[in-house]
Homo-oligomer: A and B are copies of this chain.
């Protein structure tokens, strides 16, 4: 396994300080950013979310221009890659209480390779591991991800691409790595994330595009599993997969449908404004 290339506060490094609060408490946030042909996709949106998250946690946001130039430097010349940006509350004295100076420490990692999103339909499962509800940190892409790790250990079947997670009251929230949407009577529905879950960048893009694609706003609400699955189409979304139709949730089959396809095309174009609106979407579809 190749180690990722890493910059810690702008300096090439193989290690993060042993007293980093990201390690000790998960006291930090991260972004996973797609790179194509040396270009960083949606960098402004990622930085915006990271700033918002830092503000909510009271972490001083690192100098933006430095962070941008570090991401771009690592991205340069990469045909296909992921860049992970972590901002932690740096080091502090021992104990949960942060010190007076909550300087954000920046850790920028490059993972070369990977595949462009193919849109191949996914089989997913419903996880037994539930998500705890905590409005204080809900929506944030923070470093406390043990629930997702435990959920991911529930299955080994390589045919199962993802796991759908409910909260401890039985409401659908998200998949371990993706947000989730369903299409019901032509309208998009997606879980409310004010108690748990990560409010993803691509989720925001889907919400933004809902009216254009479906002629009405998406509905954000609380749905039990049965309520959510009572639909015509389901899709997952995140930075790596963009929009990916779901073919099966456990034993229940779904037909990848026209709304998912139209949203997939719209998100693809929104994320690559330079490709223009006349892109022949068929040329980029293919097997997974």
Which of B15, B99, B152 makes the CB contact (< 8 A) with A97? B152
Q: How many copies of the shown chain assemble into the complex? A: 2
Q: Name A's B-contacting residues (CB within 8 A).
A: 1, 3-4, 6, 8, 13-27, 30, 57-58, 82, 84, 86, 88-89, 91-99, 107, 109, 111, 129-137, 142-153, 168, 176-177, 195-196
Most chain B C-beta atoms within 10 Å of own C-beta, residue among A22, A134, A137, A147: A134
B18→A23 contact, CB < 8 A: no
Do residues A143 and B23 form an inter-chain contact, with CB atoms below 8 A?
Answer: yes
Instruction: Check A146/B149 contact, CB under 8 A, given A15-B16, A96-B176.
Output: no
Of all A-B residue pairs in the complex, the 5 with the closest CB atoms, nearest first, are A15-B15, A132-B132, A144-B144, A26-B26, A132-B134
User: Which residues of chain B are within 8 angstroms of A168 by Cβ–Cβ distance?
Assistant: 132-134, 195
Could you tell me the distance between the alpha carbons of A108 and B274 in the complex, rounded to whole angstroms?
50
B142:A146 contact, CB within 8 angstroms: yes
**What residues of chain B lie closer than 8 Å to A142, measured between beta carbons?**
146
Residues of B close to A21: CB separation below 8 A: 149
| Separation of A130 and B88 alpha carbons in the complex (Å) | 22
Are A27's CB and B57's CB within 8 A?
no
Residue in contact with A129 in the complex, picked from B19, B97, B136, B196, CB distance below 8 Å: B136
Contact assessment for B84 and A94 in the assembled complex, using a CB-CB cutoff below 8 Å: yes
A153: chain B residues at CB < 8 Å are 58, 97-98
Which of the residues B107, B136, B143 comes within 8 Å of A25, measured between beta carbons? B143
Partner of A149, one of B8, B23, B27, B30: B27
B18 contacts A16, CB within 8 Å? Answer: yes
Cα–Cα distance between A84 and B95 once the two chains are bound (Å)? 11
If A27-B149, A133-B168 touch, does A82 touch B94 (CB 8 Å cutoff)?
Answer: yes
Q: Is the CB of B20 within 8 A of A23?
A: yes
Q: Is the CB of A146 within 8 A of B145?
A: no
Residues of B within 8 A of A149 (CB): 21, 25, 27, 57, 89, 96-98
In the complex, what residues of B have CB within 8 A of residue A15's CB? Answer: 13-18
Question: With the chains together, A109 CA to B94 CA distance in Å?
Answer: 11
Q: A230 vs B15: C-alpha distance in the bound complex, in angstroms?
A: 50
Give which listed residue, B18, B129, B132, B136, contacts A107 with CB less than 8 A. Answer: B18
Q: Smallest CB–CB gap between A86 and chain B, Å?
A: 7
Cross-chain pairs A/B with CB under 8 angstroms, 6 sampled:
A4-B19, A21-B149, A24-B84, A25-B146, A129-B134, A137-B150
What separation, in Å, do the CA atoms of A107 and B18 have in the docked complex? 8
Question: B residues within 8 A CB of A58?
Answer: 153
Measured in the bound complex, the distance between the Cα atoms of B167 and A135 in whole Å is 12
